[in-house]
Structures are given as C-alpha cells and as structure tokens.
Amino acid sequence: MALELYHLHLSQSERVVWLLEEMQIPYNLHVFKRDPKTGLAPDDLKAINPAGTAPYFRDTSVSPEVAISESGATVSYILSVYSAGSNGTRLVRTPEDPDFATYLEWFHYANGSLHASISRLMYFQFSGMPSDSPMVQRLRGKLAGQLKMIDDHLGKNQWFAGKDLSAADCMIMFSLSTMRGIYPIDLGPYANILRWLRDVAARPAYRKAIEKGDEGMDPLIEPNARRFTEIEAFRGALEKA
C-alpha cells in the first residue's frame, strides 16, 4: 500500500491525518506550510494539486492510481477501501448500524453546513465588513443556532454518531478547533462541545496527527482559542475580531 497525503499546516487536511492515525494505516505525510504572508497554500503544493488546496491524497497501490482533493471524499475512499484499518478500528457506519443515518448526516454537515457558515464569516472578517452589519449579524445568528444544535446533540451522545468515535467526528473537529485560530468563536456557552473537544484531544491518534501535521501545536480546545496572528494575512482581521 502506498498512500500519499499532502497536508497544509493549520488546515482541514488534519481530518485525514487524524483518520489515518486512528486506523493505523501506513501512509506518507507531506507537510506544507501556509505562505506566511498570504496564509494560502505555497506554490509547491499548488504545483502538485491542480485544485491548489489541501488535502490532496494519492493511492498509488492501485492502477490507475487514485488522486482526490476533497477531504470528505478522501475520508470516504479510505473507509471504503481500507474499512477497518490495520488495528480493527471501525470508523465507518453502514446500513446495518443503528446510527447509520445519524453518522451520514453529521459527516456531511461538517462541510455542507457548519464549515460553510464559518468560512463565509471568515471571508466577511477578512474583507473588513463591520461585525454589526446586517449580513454578518444574520450569519452569526445562524452559526449560534448551529452550535446550539451541536451542543444539544453532544449533550445526549458522547460522539457524533452515538457511543463510539466515527469518521463524522473526524470531519467536524477541524471547524470547532483549529479553524478558530483563523475565525475566532467563543465556545464558552457550549459545555457539551467543550467536553467533546477535550475527549478528542485526549485521543493519542489525534495528538499524533497534530504533532505530525502541525508541529506539536496545542490543540485549540479552550473556550476562547488562540489566534494565528503569526500569519500576516490573518493578523489585521484577527486583531479586530
């Protein structure tokens, strides 16, 4: 097996690093740092991935080789082809599992709804749009509703798809942790989300993923997480946020 994962520092490709660490599947990790000025992918990553983003994933053990540049598709591919991982960890749910529909819903909620809301707000923040503008207020209200719904769910379930960790947790984690270094969100009112963040950060595989991909950065699990002001393009907006 030759799995190649191209990961961008402080980015949603951490989802795939974490998944592979949980499943203990051998892979080669190629880490790229964000451009310190623009915060975007560096040219050497853009030269490898035509989409210019991370994650970028290749499975060279099959012919023709597989190449994917969407995190959700990469996670689904790994789960379909290597389902149980080398240590038997089963992070996928199938129609026979009682939590199958819940799993699917949260898996897709990660990028389809939660990250979509946060990244829209992030672009407004970068554009300098005042935080009291009607559009920002409206989106913030929507995000607060989403966080409340997640918090209620995690009040009744230890993990997103019930009592065990699943790939739905791997998909959601980035938006509620590392992403807050780019778009700050106060999670103080959401005790169940904070409990879940602590549970994730206590997992050796998650720690290992962050250690390998983000140079041992402390996971962003506090109610008010640190901000990535070391990146010039983020600094101005983050200092005002």
Ligand X SMILES: N[C@@H](CCC(=O)N[C@@H](CS)C(=O)NCC(=O)O)C(=O)O
Q: Which residues of the shown chain bind ligand X in the complex (CB under 6 A)?
A: 8, 11-12, 40-41, 52-55, 70-72, 111
- Measured from the CB atom, the residue of 98 and 112 that comes closer to ligand X is 112
- Measured from the CB atom, the residue of 35 and 97 that comes closer to ligand X is 35
Least distance from ligand X to the Cβ atom of residue 71, Å: 4
Name residue 176's amino acid: L
Residue with tokens 């966080």: 147
Which residue in 59, 63, 48 sits closest to 25, CA to CA?
59
Return d(Cα 13, Cα 171) in angstroms, integer: 10
Residue with tokens 């199958």: 100
- Measured from the CB atom, the residue of 14 and 22 that comes closer to ligand X is 14
CB atoms within 10 A of CB 224: 12
Least distance from ligand X to the Cβ atom of residue 174, Å: 7
- Measured from the CB atom, the residue of 12 and 166 that comes closer to ligand X is 12
- Bridge partners, residue 67, by sequence: 58
Least distance from ligand X to the Cβ atom of residue 155, Å: 27
Structure tokens at 202: 């206590």
- Measured from the CB atom, the residue of 7 and 151 that comes closer to ligand X is 7
- Bridge partners, residue 29, by sequence: 5
Least distance from ligand X to the Cβ atom of residue 100, Å: 22
Least distance from ligand X to the Cβ atom of residue 195, Å: 25
Sheet with 3-8, side-by-side order of all strands: 28-32, 3-8, 56-59, 66-68
- Measured from the CB atom, the residue of 151 and 228 that comes closer to ligand X is 228
Segments in 128-224 forming alpha helices (H) = 134-156, 167-176, 191-201, 204-213
Least distance from ligand X to the Cβ atom of residue 158, Å: 25
Tell me if 77 sits within 8 A of 84, measured CB to CB.
no
